[in-house]
Amino acid sequence: MGGGPSRVPLMDLLTVTAQWLADPMNWQGPNGIPARLSEHVALSGASLLLASLVAIPLGLWIGHTGRFSWLVLSSANAWRALPSFAVIGLLVPFTTAIDPNLGFTLYPTLVAMIVLAGPPLLVNSYQGIAGVDRDLVEAARAMGMRERQILLGLEIPIALPVIATGIRSAAVQVVATATLGATFGFGGLGRYIVLGDANHDNGELFGGVVLVAALALATLALFLLVQRRLVSPGLSSRTAG
């Protein structure tokens, strides 16, 4: 690893970071910030989407039927304990065997991010649905709602705040952790951190850190905004009383 930044005074760090971020050279070309940002966002979005397609329906189904619910929490906890760094490293030999190019630059990070996003998506979808008052579900059934109508018209809308929280935390975790992929040939904003470290370029290193943090915060804000628009006002505590 490169020289530790701890010996550099804070003011100098801020200055070089600001300079690096302000440099027009860093905003163009295949290693420019727009290109790296889109790589980062595309990978995060793709892994979140793929994880959602599996984990959310599975969580909804388990929550609605109550089947296999004992499996969800224990397996999700074990799953969560998998360090993304190790997952990426372990995947490389296998994925490069399948495709020497994308198997190094894309697949390991993509799969590791899907693995990372899975537990919060699964657990929150399951808990959101399982937490819906059973009397309410029975009332719906008693009024002649079919199981699908109960899930779509009652359980999901009521569970939405919990499900959305799961999606949000998965998204933020993925955006922050996708940075690790740069160690194994994936691009993204992590590339600046790897390069900055290797080149002893504190401006680039901390520029990368700032960009990742900013992207994570922007993700958080975006999902909070969407959640506020989607969740029924009847469910927010502000309308209570």
Partner 1 sequence: MTTPATPTSRAAALEFRGVTKRYGSGEESTGAVNDLSFTVPAGTICVLVGPSGCGKTTSLKMVNRLIEPTGGQILLDGSDVMSEDVTALRRRIGYVIQQVGLFPHLTIGRNVAVVPALMGWTRERQQARTDELLSLVGLEPGRYRNRYPSQLSGGERQRVGVARALAADPPLMLMDEPFAAVDPIVRQRLQDEFLRLQRALAKTILFVTHDVDEAIKMGDLIAVMEEGGRLAQFGPPEEILAHPASDFVARFVGQDRGLKRLSLSTIADLRTEPLGRREGLPTFSPDTTLRDALSILLVADTRGGVALDEAGQPRGLVTVDAIASALADDRPRRAARA
Where on the chain is the footprint of partner 1 (CB under 8 A)? 133, 135-136, 138-146, 149, 154, 157-158, 232-235, 239-241
Q: What is the smallest separation between the CB atom of 229 and partner 1, expressed in angstroms?
A: 14
Q: What is the smallest separation between the CB atom of 233 and partner 1, expressed in angstroms?
A: 7
Q: What is the smallest separation between the CB atom of 165 and partner 1, expressed in angstroms?
A: 16
Q: What is the smallest separation between the CB atom of 226 and partner 1, expressed in angstroms?
A: 17
Q: Which is nearer to partner 1, 9 or 144 (CB)?
A: 144
Number of H helices, E strands in the chain: 11, 0
Q: What is the smallest separation between the CB atom of 136 and partner 1, expressed in angstroms?
A: 5
The token pair that represents 240 in the structure block: 């209570």
Please state the φ and ψ torsions of residue 30, each to the nearest 5 degrees. Answer: -65, -20
Chain centroid to CA 79: 15
CB atoms within 10 A of CB 185: 19
Q: Which is nearer to partner 1, 136 or 214 (CB)?
A: 136
Q: What is the smallest separation between the CB atom of 68 and partner 1, expressed in angstroms?
A: 24
Q: Which is nearer to partner 1, 75 or 149 (CB)?
A: 149
- As a whole number of angstroms, the distance between CA 98 and CA 104 comes to 10
Contact (Cβ atoms closer than 8 angstroms) between residue 223 and residue 164: yes
Q: Which is nearer to partner 1, 51 or 137 (CB)?
A: 137
Q: Which is nearer to partner 1, 10 or 240 (CB)?
A: 240
Contact (Cβ atoms closer than 8 angstroms) between residue 212 and residue 37: no
Q: Which is nearer to partner 1, 1 or 135 (CB)?
A: 135
Contact (Cβ atoms closer than 8 angstroms) between residue 189 and residue 179: yes
Q: Which is nearer to partner 1, 69 or 149 (CB)?
A: 149
- As a whole number of angstroms, the distance between CA 154 and CA 150 comes to 5
Q: What is the smallest separation between the CB atom of 161 and partner 1, expressed in angstroms?
A: 10
In total, the chain counts a number of residues equal to 241
